[in-house]
Structure 1
Amino acid sequence: MSLLVLPALVFGVSYEYTDNIVVPSLIHGFYNATLFTGLYVSVVYADQAAQSALLAL
């Protein structure tokens, strides 16, 4: 639950500051895109990172 406090505050403050629901929606979309991009990169390149770590030993 504490993980969601910061994004919720950002969304709430952006809505109160702009009085427009589009702004927090765009921020939320960018946040989701960042999370999914990080997930994609970690899944696709996990084998290469593990092999590099083993070779470094």
Structure 2
Amino acid sequence: KAALEATLSPIVCVGETQEERESGVTDSVVRTQVTASLDGLSSEEVDKLVIAYEPVWAI
């Protein structure tokens, strides 16, 4: 929210660990991360975000 108030273009990075991937919970983990990131934002604010998916294990 602070980034939006500073007129920056926030990039929300989400992704699962190798263990989460192997456990088959990738969708749940990423969904939780995205939902938590958007909590408290208006639809106009959400429109200004970039969501980037990159698994932690791939970095």
Higher relative contact order (CA 8 A, sep 6+): 2
Task: Specify which structure has the higher proportion of helix.
Answer: 1
TM-score w.r.t. the length of structure 1 is 0.39
Decide which structure has the larger Cα Rg and report it.
1
Which structure has greater strand proportion?
2
TM-score by length of 2: 0.38
